[in-house]
Each structure stands twice: as structure tokens, then as C-alpha cells.
Structure 1
Amino acid sequence: MMASFFRIVKFSLQDIFRNMSLSFMTVLILILMLLSINTLIVVRVITDESIQTVKEQIDVSIYFHPESTEEEIGEVREYVGSFPEVENEVYLTKEEVLENFKDTYSDNKEILASLDELGENPLGPTLVVKTREPKDYEKIINALSVPEYENIIEAKTFGDTQVAIDRIHSITTQVERFTYFLTALFAIIAFVIIFNTIRVAIYTQRAEIGIKRLVGATNWFISGPYMLESLIFSIISVAVTYGIAHFSIGFLDPYMGVVFGETELLSTYFSSHLLLILGIEFVSVFLLTIVSSGLAMRRYLRT
């Protein structure tokens, strides 16, 4: 049994080196296909992080009348806090609102001078509410637009980020479609190359295969070297792709840190999902090579 296995390994390596150019081209195409898959993963990670960053900027600001009492404001705060869509809320007193206003317009002397002329704080308290999803702000705004709160709430504003999120989704969809196309294209090219590589190998060795049949060799023994080639192609392509992806992620991470504030965004994701990603990529490539090899051998293995 072991002797047969070592012969299969020997024949497989001989076929690979005998058709070195085709073997190299096969591995190259498989690597390009896997890199396309990794590109899809990177695009998805960046998209999710972009949307999360935009979502974190969502807030609903509720401005109270300066004359509103603490009891009235407390009632509104309790009502807003009862909504499950509310993630958190920050209450700013009149004094804090005034300080923030002065900081915002610290370079505008006219506004600050006008504020000093008033002699008192014209601003009321503010409640800043963060919601879980972009669509939730509308529910909060509508819930507070009732007659009971007209004399308590002066104004309500929100940061509408839905347009930005929709734009991110649109761009991501276009990029993903293009990447899916490239992945499918490389998969088809790899299939054709492997199919023809195996057929050429079998054709050039048809006399040897005939002799093997005359001495009683089984289909498994005859097809074994070509199946092993598929395994070797898969292992090499996944290993090289991992090396390229690892280097590329290390190069991209600093730039992701500038945009998102997280210096190891891609590294963290790939590290936590490494076994899953490598497993899916290996199984995908191995199935592709096995199927193409099997179809190429089918004609010559018929008894």
C-alpha cells in the first residue's frame, strides 16, 4: 500500500515538473482567484466599518426652552429613555450649552460680543440622544412632536446619515459585483487550464497508462497522480495567497487607521477568522481542481 502511494507521489511530481509552464500558469490563476476572494472580504470589512463609523455620528438633539423646569425636562428625559431604539443620552445644562457655544464661535468676536450684551444666558438645556439605527431618529422626533411638549421643547434636530450609508452601500455593491466577476473569470480560466493540463498529461502518457492497465493497475492508481496534482496546486496557491494577503494587510492597516482610528482593523479581522477563511479558500480551490481533473480523466479511465 505504501509502495503504491509513493509511486503515485513520484508520478505526480514528474507530471508537475514535466509540464512546468502549465503547472505555473495553473497555480498563478488559482492565486489570482483567491486574491479576488480576499479582496471581497476586505471590501466587506471596510464597508461594515464605514457604516458603523457613520452610525456612531447619529444623534438627535432636543433643545429645551430656557424657561423649562427641571421637572418638565426630567419627564421628557424619562419618556425618551423608555424607547428601546435609544442607545444612550447625554444631558447638557444651560451652562454647558453656553460654554460649548462659546467654544464653537471662539473666533467670531461679533457673536461673542452680542452674547455679552444680552447679560444673561439665552440658551436652554439640550438633550443629545443616540439611536441604534439611522431610521430610529425619525421615530424619536415624531414621538416628541406632540402638544404636551410644545412649551417644553424649543426645537429638535438630527444628523441625517442615511444618505451617506446608502452611498456607501451603492459603491460597495458596484465594487463587489466587479470582484465577483473577476473571481468567476479566474475560476473559469483555472478550470480550463487544469482540464487541458491533465488531458495533455494523459495524452502524452497514454502508452504508459495502457501498460499500467495491462499489468492490472486500478483506476485509482492511474488517476491518483493527477488527483495529487490537484491537491498540490491547491496547497501551493492557498499558501502563496496567504503570504500575499498577509503582506498586503500589513501595508493597508496603517491607512485604515487614519480613516477609522483603528490601526489593526484588517489584521484583527483576518486573525480572528483565519481558519475559516483558509478552510473555505482551500475547499473551493480543491473542489475546482478535482472536478476539472476528474472530467479530464473520465474519458481515459473508462474500461
Structure 2
Amino acid sequence: MYYMLSLFRVFTFAIQDVLRNFSLSVMTVFILVLMLLSVNSLLVVRVLTDHAKFSIEDKIDVTIYFDNEANSDEIEEVQSYVKSFPEVVSVKFFGREEVIEQFRQAHQDNPEILASLDELQENPLGATMVVKTRQPSDYQKIISSLQIPEYETIIEAKSFADTEQAIDKINTITTNVERFTLMLSALFTVIAFFIISNTVRVLIYTQRVEISIKKLVGATNWFVQGPYLVAAFLFSVASMVISYSLTLVALGYLDPYISVVFGEELILTNYFILHILLIAGVEFIAVLFLTVMSSLLAMRKHLNV
């Protein structure tokens, strides 16, 4: 019962201290919120980058165009050879009739091309094979493996949309943005450290008489220091709730524009809701560590108990 009463008094003193120095408390929470928002921005950049790279890689494939004279046995041999590579995920084959039908559909708004095609006595297009691999870097290996004399008369051409440059640009932009965001987070962390230390110092200074009286009547060190640690906890909770709420609101406005690019609904909002325990948990522990350490260092320097 005694410990419960002491704990209640510590919480009461902490809330009184926070309200008594309301402007300092607001400034402390504000800086912590900015720090957490910069960290959340870093997560948003990482999620968008991963989706962008996945979207590009998903559209990469190599198309193999077979010669008109290639027979079914020769084509099946090439198919079996390509499928034997562990890097290959899927192989889709399109016969000559499917290829010309796809060609007609692709150029249905161009009557001149269709008229020229109708004038020909036979189908000028050969069969094609579309190959997908696990990684974009694997495509060059597939193309090189098909450049052998046995396949020169079977394969007419090979096309590969090299998107490595696009992926490299995305990585470069992401690295620069992440670097800037990390610097911003570090800056807010340093500012938060000094503001929290200053807040505790001011609290100690304004309550120096009360602290002396508490010590005279036999208050323990924990009872004197407790309110400052509880205040640090309250700052952490408030900043965590505010920053995560602001993040979800901002993502609600961003997601409609993001969905136009990636074709998925609520990418960012779903990510932050799905990983709320992990993200909020890690961020809360980090902020609590920062606020408690700042408070302890300030108390060690300014609080004589």
C-alpha cells in the first residue's frame, strides 16, 4: 500500500511539473515529434523505393524471337535448354498464330500496317518465347547462353529491356534522400537531448525549495528523482502518439497519389498499420531511452541528493 501511494504521488508530482512548465513541455514534445516524423519519413522512402524496384523488376523479361523456318522440335529444344537454368522463373511460349494475333491487336488503330499485313501471302512472324528470371542481372546470362552456333538458324533475335540504369537511379536518389533524412533525425535527436536536459534543469531550479523540504522530511532519492523520470516517460508517450497519428493522416493524403503510380491501394497506410507494433515499439523504446538518459544526466549534474 505504501509503495502504491508513493508511486501515485510521484505521478502526481510529475504531472504538476509538466503543467507548471507547460511551454517547455510543449517544446520538448514538439522536438521529439519532429524527430519521429523524420524517422517515419525515412521508412516511407524505403517502402516506396522497394515498391518501385519491385515494379520495375516485375516488368523485365527477355523475348526470344524464333525464325519462321524453325520447326517444333528445334523450338522445344531451346525451351528445355532455357528452363534448365535455375535462375529462370517462368517461360511462356507463343505460337505463330498467337503472335500475329497479338500484333494485329497492338496495331488495330493503324489500318495501314494491317493492310500491309493482309497483302502478304503468309504469316511473316515467327514464334516467340518470353523468359522471366529471379534477378535482373540473370537476363544477360540467359542471352549469352543462347549465342551459340547451334541456335543461330533457330533464333532470329533476342530483346532485353535493360532497366539496370533505372534501378541504379532509384538507388542513388533513395540513398541521397535517406542520407538527408538521417542527418535531420540526428539533428533533432541532439536538439531533443539538450532541450530535455534544459527542461529538467529548469524543473529542478524552480523546485529547489520543495526538494530541500522533501529531503528534510526523509524523502528517498527515488521519490525526489521519480517525477523527472515519469515526466520523461510522459514526453515519450505523447510524442509517440502524436507523431504516429500525424504520420497516418499524412499517408492518408499521399496514398491516392501513390496508388496511381503503383496500381495498389493504401500501400503506405497498410504498411504502417500492419507493422504498427514493430515500428511504434522500436520508436517508443528509442525515444524513452533518449528522454530518460537526458533526464538522468541532467539530474546527476544539477540535482544534489
TM-score (norm 2): 0.96
Indicate the residue corresponding to 2:253 in structure 1. Answer: 251
Indicate the residue corresponding to 1:269 in structure 2. Answer: 271
Counterparts of 1:57-136 in structure 2, within 5 Å, are: 57-136=59-138
Indicate the residue corresponding to 1:27 in structure 2. Answer: 29
Q: Which string of whole-angstrom CA distances, capped at 9 and with x for unpartnered residues, describes residues 80-108 of structure 1?
A: 11111111121111111111222223333
**Distance in 2 separating the partners of 1:238 and 1:130:** 44
Question: Does the CA contact (< 8 Å) of 1:65 and 1:151 recur in 2?
Answer: yes
Name which of structure 1's ranges 248-257 and 182-191 shifts more when overlaid on structure 2.
Answer: 248-257
Deviation of the 1:111 alpha carbon: 2.8
Q: Which string of whole-angstrom CA distances, capped at 9 and with x for unpartnered residues, describes residues 178-205 of structure 1?
A: 1111111111111111000100111121
Question: Does the CA contact (< 8 Å) of 1:57 and 1:159 recur in 2?
Answer: no
Kindly provide the amino acid, as one letter, of the partner of residue 76 in structure 1: V
Q: Which string of whole-angstrom CA distances, capped at 9 and with x for unpartnered residues, describes residues 13-44 of structure 1?
A: 11101110000000011111111111111111
Within the candidate set 241, 244, 256, 1:242 is matched to 244
User: Displaced runs of 4+ in structure 1, greater than 3 A?
Assistant: 107-110, 300-303
Find the residue that maps to 1:135 and give its secondary structure: helix
Question: Does the CA contact (< 8 Å) of 1:219 and 1:301 recur in 2?
Answer: no
Q: Percent identity?
A: 57
Deviation of the 1:302 alpha carbon: 4.8
Name which of structure 1's ranges 257-266 and 244-253 shifts more when overlaid on structure 2.
Answer: 244-253
Find the residue that maps to 1:122 and give its secondary structure: coil
Indicate the residue corresponding to 2:188 in structure 1. Answer: 186
Find the residue that maps to 2:123 and give its secondary structure: coil
Question: Does the CA contact (< 8 Å) of 2:56 and 2:163 recur in 1?
Answer: yes
Q: How many residues align?
A: 303
TM-score (norm 1): 0.97
Runs of 5+ unmatched residues, structure 1: none
Name which of structure 1's ranges 156-165 and 249-258 shifts more when overlaid on structure 2.
Answer: 249-258
**Distance in 2 separating the partners of 1:40 and 1:115:** 53
Deviation of the 1:122 alpha carbon: 1.0
Deviation of the 1:301 alpha carbon: 4.2
Question: Does the CA contact (< 8 Å) of 2:204 and 2:303 recur in 1?
Answer: no
Kindly provide the amino acid, as one letter, of the partner of residue 39 in structure 2: I
Deviation of the 1:207 alpha carbon: 2.0
**Distance in 2 separating the partners of 1:237 and 1:224:** 20
**Distance in 1 separating the partners of 2:183 and 2:101:** 55
Kindly provide the amino acid, as one letter, of the partner of residue 79 in structure 1: Y
Indicate the residue corresponding to 1:47 in structure 2. Answer: 49
Find the residue that maps to 1:262 and give its secondary structure: coil
**Distance in 2 separating the partners of 1:271 and 1:141:** 43
**Distance in 2 separating the partners of 1:200 and 1:33:** 22
Question: Does the CA contact (< 8 Å) of 1:65 and 1:154 recur in 2?
Answer: yes
Question: Does the CA contact (< 8 Å) of 1:63 and 1:125 recur in 2?
Answer: yes
Kindly provide the amino acid, as one letter, of the partner of residue 239 in structure 2: S
Q: Which string of whole-angstrom CA distances, capped at 9 and with x for unpartnered residues, describes residues 127-179 of structure 1?
A: 01111211111000001111111111111111111111111111111111111
Deviation of the 1:71 alpha carbon: 0.6
